[in-house]
Amino acid sequence: MNEQNEKNIPSENREDNTAAEAFKPEFNDLVVDIDATADENSDIVEETNNNADTSSANCAADQDRGENFAVSNEPSESKYTDTVVETAQELPSVVDEVESETQNIETFNTNKVDKPKKSKRNRRHTTRTLIKESNVALMLSAVSVILLVALTALLSIGILPAGNRMVYVGVSTLGPVESASGYASPELLEEFKNSVVIIDVTTATGGGTGSGIILSQDGYIVTNYHVVSGAKKISVAFYNKSEQLSAEVIGYSERDDIAVIKVNATGLRPATFANSENCRTGEIVYAVGAPEGSDFGWSITSGIISEPVREVKIYASDYVLEKKMYLLQTDAAVNPGNSGGPLINVRGEVVGIITLKRSNAAGIGFALPSSGSLELIEAIIEKGNIDGVVSSVSKSRPLIGITGVGLEPGVWYEQTSDGVRVVTEAFAQAHPSLCISTDVAGVYVTSLNPKLDASNYLIEGDVITHVNGMEVYVTYDIMDIVNNFDGGEVVKVTFVRDGESYTVDITLGTED
C-alpha cells in the first residue's frame, strides 16, 4: 500500500447493513416551464366559533361578512359591556318598583279593611306572593349581571372566541390569528389589484408572461428570477391602465428565485406585506396574477394554507438535487403566469410570492414566504445581486465530494470517459491499467474533491458499501441519502480497502 493509503486508513468500526430505499420527488422548478418538464406537525384545533351569547349578534355578523371586510383582531367585548351597564342601571328602577308595589298593597289593604268579603289571610297571601315574585325578579336580574360580567372578563383575556377571532390551541405563542372562515370582501380584492402588475418578457428564444408585486410608489417591483431570466426586454402593465412601461432588472437571487425590477413611475400603489411566520394551516389565502398569460391578467383564485413551512427539493433534469427551498404550500390554483405574483391573506396583505407548483398534481402550489423574502428584497435593492447570501428561503445542496461508479463483485470493468463498461477477464488481463474489479458490491471511488472532508479519509479505489448504515450500490444511492442532510452535518461512511472494512464520519460541504 502506498503512503497515501497508509495515511488515510482510519480505525475500524464496522456498521450493520440496513437497506433503504431512496425517494426522489419530481418537482418542476419553474412554473412557466410546467408543461415542458417533468410532511411541521402543526396541529390545529378548529373552533366552530359558537358564541357563548347566542343572540342575534352572530347572525348579523354572518350576514355582514359577505358584504364588507370587517374581520377584526380586536375582541368584541363592547356589546357585552354595554349590556352590563344597562342592566346595572335598571337595578334601582326594579327596587323602586318593588317598594312602590308594596306601598300600593298597603294602601289597598287599608282601603279594603271594611269590606267583609276579603279576609286578612287572603290579603296577606296576595302581598307575600307579590313580594316573592318581585324578589325572584330581582335575584334573576342580579344573576344576569354576574354572568354578563364573568363572560366579559373571559372574553377580555381571550379564553372564549369573540366575533371572528379564533384561538388556536397548542400551535404557537404568537397569539390569535384570523379565523380560517373569514373571507376578504370583493371591494378589498378589487382594490388590491392595483398593487399587482403583469410582466411580459422578450428573450432571445421567445418570451413569456409573469406577475409582479409593487413594492414602492416610485416603481420598485418584485417578481421571480425565472420570470425575467435572460430578458432582452421587459414590459410592465398596470391594472386599469392601457399604457405599459419598460423595466430594468435591479438585481436578483437566482437560488431564491427572487428578482427586483424598476419602472420609471411615481404614485404607484405598493402592497402591504405581513409576516408569513404567523400563517397557519387552514388560513384562507388568494393568489393574484396572470395564469396562462396576460389575457387572464389579474385573475384571483382562492384556497387555504396547506402547510406553512414545506421543504421542497428541486432536482435538475438528470435527477441531481439542485437546492432545497422552504415554502408556503397552498391549494389555491396557480398556473404559468402566476409566477412572481402575490399570495395574500383575508386582510389583503402579502404573505408569499408565487414561485412554483407540483407538475403532475392539482392543488399543490408554493410561494416564497414573505418573512424571508423581504430580507432578500431589501438587500437586492441596496446591493444588487446577492447570490451566496445566507437565506432562510433556500439552501444549497449538500455535497459529499465523491465521484464513483457502482460495481458488482467479481466483474471486470474498463474505465472510460463516460464511466465504466463490463469487459472480459481476458481483456482485463491484457489491459490491467485500464480495468478494475472488486470483491464487494458498492460504489468504487474514482475521484475526490480536495476541498471537501471526504478527501481526508478516502482514496481512489475504495469501495463505499454503506452510508449511515444503509447499503449503497450506485452513486445515486449515496446522493439520495446525503440529500436528506444539510451542509455542515455529518454522515457515517463505510468502505472497503484492501479487503478491510472501515467506518468514518464525514462532514458534508455545500455548493458554492
Q: Are residue 447 and residue 473 in the same domain, yes or no? A: yes
Q: Give yes or no: residues 116 and 187 share one domain.
A: no
Neighbours of 103 (CB within 10 A): 10
Query: Is residue 31 assigned to a domain?
Result: no
pLDDT at 434: 85
Query: Closest by alpha carbon to 193, among 214, 208, 210?
Result: 214
Q: Let me know if residue 424 belongs to a domain.
A: yes
Per the CB < 8 A criterion, the answer to whether 105 and 130 are in contact is yes
- How far apart are the C-alpha atoms of 491 and 473, rounded to whole Å? 17
Task: Mark whether 326 and 289 lie in a shared domain.
Answer: yes
Give yes or no: residues 157 and 222 share one domain: no
Q: Are residues 446 and 476 in contact, defined by beta-carbon separation less than 8 angstroms?
A: no
Beta strands in 255-401 (DSSP E): 258-263, 272-273, 284-289, 299-315, 321-330, 342-344, 349-357, 365-369, 394-396, 398-399
- Residue listed under C-alpha cell 318581585: 134
Query: At 365, which CATH number?
Result: 2.40.10.120
Q: Identify whether residues 206 and 121 lie together within a single domain.
A: no
Q: Return the pLDDT at 90.
A: 52
pLDDT at 126: 59
Is there a single domain that holds both residue 439 and residue 493? yes
Residue that terminates a domain, selected from 122, 154, 178: 178
Same domain, 151 and 285: no
* Assigned domain for 428 exists: yes
Task: Classify residue 51: in a domain, yes or no.
Answer: no
The verdict on residue 416 lying in a domain is: yes
Q: For residues 414 and 498, state if they share a domain.
A: yes
Q: What CATH number has the domain bearing residue 420?
A: 2.30.42.10
Quickly tell me which residue has 380584492 as its cell: 189
**What's the domain count of the chain?**
3
Among residues 353, 380, 396, which one ends one of the domains?
396
Same domain for 312 and 171, yes or no, is no
Bridge partners (DSSP) of residue 444 are 405, 463
**Residue 152: per-residue pLDDT:** 55
Domain match, 359 and 256 both: yes
* Three-state secondary structure call for residue 162: coil
Residue-level pLDDT at 42: 42
Instruction: For residue 75, give the C-alpha cell.
Output: 375582541
Q: Which residue has the cell 474505465?
A: 415
Contacts of 481 (CB under 8 A, 6+ apart): 20, 22, 467, 468, 470, 472, 491
Mark whether 341 and 489 lie in a shared domain: no
pLDDT reported for residue 129: 62
* 188 domain residue, yes or no: yes
Which residues, including other chains, have CB under 8 Å from residue 422's CB and lie 6 or more apart?
411, 412, 413, 414
Domain boundary among 368, 396, 424: 396
Tell me, yes or no, whether 29 lies in a domain: no
Residues 96 and 245 reside in one and the same domain: no
Residue 73 located in a structural domain: yes
- 505 within 8 A of 490, measured Cβ to Cβ: yes
Q: What is the pLDDT along the chain (512 residues), one digit of tens a residue?
A: 444 555 465 544 444 444 334 434 444 344 434 344 434 444 433 443 444 444 444 444 444 444 443 333 344 444 444 444 454 455 555 545 555 655 655 555 555 444 445 455 555 555 566 666 666 667 777 766 677 666 555 444 433 333 322 222 222 223 344 444 589 999 999 999 999 999 999 999 998 999 999 999 999 999 999 999 999 999 999 999 988 999 999 999 999 999 999 999 999 999 999 999 999 999 999 999 999 888 889 999 999 999 999 999 888 877 788 889 999 999 999 998 999 999 999 999 999 999 988 877 788 999 999 999 999 999 999 888 876 677 889 988 899 999 999 989 989 988 887 778 888 888 988 888 888 888 899 999 989 999 999 999 999 999 999 999 999 999 989 999 999 998 899 999 999 999 899 999 999 998 76
Domain of residue 447 covers: 3-24+397-510
3-state secondary structure 237-281: EECCCCCEEEEEEEEEECCCCEEEEEECCCCCCCCEECCHHHCCC
